Amino acid sequence: MRNGSFPNTFRWGVATAAYQIEGAVNEDGRGTSIWDRFCAIKGNVRNGETGEVACDFYHRYPEDVALLRELGACAFRFSVAWPRVLPEGRGKVNEPGLDFYDRLVDELLANEIAPVVTLYHWDLPVALEDAGGWPERSTAEAFCEFAEATAHRLGDRVSLWITHNEPWVAAWLGYGLGVHAPGRASRPDALAAAHHLLLSHGLAVDVIRREAPGAEVGITLDLTQAYPASSSEADAAAARAADGEKNRWFLDPIFKGSYPEDVLAALAPDAPPVRDGDLDVISTPIDFLGVNYYRREIVAATPDGRQMVHQPDSMYTEMGWEVSPHGLYDLLVRVHDEYAPAAIHVTENGAAFGDTLRHDGVVDDPERQAFLAGHVDAIERAIADGVPVAGYFVWSLLDNFEWAHGYGKRFGIVYVDYPTLRRIPKSSFSWYRDLIAHATTLGG
Ligand code: FCB
């Protein structure tokens, strides 16, 4: 690795999300979210685990910001819990909830770390879910109230805003398959949810620009590069269908103002509830695209659809995800060629491995280090080939609550000893610290 291709403005960061790290679910007037409720139902989350305490970031954030400083991170991506700001989803703003993020932003700035705010990382207030949730159009309007209150308070100091994290996951895992909160399983609901998530994104872009003049605004998508398993036409069609549902379904409306025809036809008779003008709103120009990348998919046709094919020669992470840095390179080049976003931030990339705390107090994670190094290399190659990648955020700073997997999957570059909540930087932390120091010296 040379690291010479990274511009000196490149943002080296780490990413987190509110429900996965904060804990303090009953403090300072926070309302209930769909994840609080989902976790309380037996069988939804491994071992009945919840985000009630998580990493206790709500109280320990000064210690974690000190870790970020030690890392040399230029940016910290976190999300704002909607139920802390608007406990009922809309209406009265809970100022103590916003105060927390105010303190966090100030602490970051005092340590010369740029705050990067995600508005929606999946913790919808239950009051809105009870009124129909994301399949209802009114949730998109409520999201604007949340965006307005948050950007009004933080917009003078936060210059990078992400409206949504992974709308595909929020819509399909939450409403289509029922394996994430709120645990509903209906294809029309998933399609309606996805449409309203996108609509709310477009509406919020304007709101944020009004409240935070000069800020950069974007959205984060989980994109997966899909390759056909063979040169057969059937496998090529299967890979195109996978790409359509996962990637183009979101990229096309945002960048081209239309849903892809082939996917619309495949999903018929279900269709998203599109009204006149919606696609103009959704395609409001953005300043950057956030890309979360974890794996590639090798897709084969089956008699009743398609399936992912296991690659015997590949390495897989604890999530069962295939490691493929080259997939990230291909994806970045392709998104640049087909959609030309003004800038791309890789807003999440990382891996779960079975880390253990040794008796000598060390957590050695060479697999994660190799994973991250491979992906940073892929980004460097993409930049050298003209793709405007402006930032890279490792998922995640800390081991944390990995949704339905509970605390069973460790993604952090810092180990969390859950019984004591002690933080122990892993060897990948030192590796990333050195990489940032080296890259910023070369770049700057
Ligand atoms: C992404 C999520 C993030 C985390 C990682 C592993 O899909 O955005 O919260 O769970 O996966």
Quote the pLDDT of residue 83: 99
CA 233 to CA 219: how far, in whole Å?
34
**SS3 assignment, position 348:** strand
pLDDT of 309 strictly over 70: yes
Rounded Cα distance between 317 and 402, Å, is 14
Q: Is the pLDDT of residue 254 over 80?
A: yes
88 is catalytic: no
pLDDT tens-digit series, residues 217-252: 999 999 999 999 999 999 999 999 999 999 999 999
Per-residue model confidence (pLDDT) at position 355: 98
What are the residues facing 180 on neighbouring strands? none
Q: Give residue 440's pLDDT.
A: 80
For ligand 1, atom 9: residue with the closest CA: 17
pTM listed for this prediction: 0.98
Q: Which amino acid is at 367?
A: E
Measured CA distances, 388 to 120, 287, 291, 335, 385 (Å): 25, 12, 12, 11, 9
Which pair of structure tokens corresponds to residue 367? 């697999």
Provide the pLDDT confidence category of residue 196 given band limits of 50, 70 and 90: very high
Share of the chain above pLDDT 70, in %: 99
- Which among 93, 69, 91, 70 has a CA at the least distance from the CA of 80? 93
pLDDT band, residue 5 (cuts 50/70/90): confident
- 235 within ligand 1 shell (Cβ under 6 A): no
**Tens-digit pLDDT profile for residues 46-85:** 999 999 999 999 999 999 999 999 999 999 999 999 999 9
Helix 366-384 to helix 427-443 angle, to the nearest 10 degrees? 20
- pLDDT in the model for residue 441: 77
| CA 411 – ligand 1 centroid, Å | 9
Residue whose CB lies within 8 A of the most ligand 1 atoms, among 77, 224, 292, for a mutation test: 292
> What is the best residue among 46, 120, 372, 402 to mutate for testing ligand 1's pocket, by most ligand atoms within 8 Å of CB?
402
Would you state the pLDDT for residue 444?
Answer: 44
173 touches 180 (CB < 8 A): yes
Distance CA 184, CA 350 (A): 28
Provide, rounded to the nearest whole percent, the portion of the chain with pLDDT above 90: 98
| Ligand 1 proximity of 348 Cβ (cutoff 6 Å) | yes
Measured from the CB, is residue 211 less than 6 Å from ligand 1? no
pLDDT at 2 over 70: no
**For residues 290-301, average pLDDT:** 98
Query: Does residue 1 surpass a pLDDT of 60?
Result: no
Q: Is the CB of 292 under 6 A from ligand 1?
A: yes
- 351 C-beta closer than 6 A to ligand 1: no
Which tops the pLDDT comparison, 2 or 424? 424
Query: Is 348 among the residues known to form the active site?
Result: yes
